[in-house]
Amino acid sequence: MNVIHIEEEAFHKLVNEVVERIIAEHNAPAERWIDGEEAMHMLKVKSTTTLQNYRDEGKIRFSQPSKKVILYDRFSIEEFIEQNVKDTF
């Protein structure tokens, strides 16, 4: 086992840099348009057919910039989930 020895000031500087990097990564805005895999993950569905049904029924918004590319609106998926929340008694 190797032991690394650094001065206190350098240690605090390193910790601050790590904390700043973590904050920056976690506060990054989420992309609005996501692929089918991420949409399925958000919706907790395993079937592309279910995802297509949600699309066809107008439950979630999507964009089809080309024939084989379908992108889903993250915000409409979040809204769809919120609309289906059941309050407890």
The predicted pLDDT at position 32 comes to 92
The predicted pLDDT at position 27 comes to 73
Closest CA to 74 of 39, 27, 44, 46: 39
Helix (H) or strand (E) holding 70: strand 69-73
Going by the DSSP 8-state scheme, the letter that residue 64 receives in this structure is: E
pTM above 0.75, yes or no: no
pLDDT digits (tens, 9 = 90+) for 26-70: 776 778 999 999 999 999 999 999 999 999 999 999 999 999 999
Domain ranges of the chain: 33-83
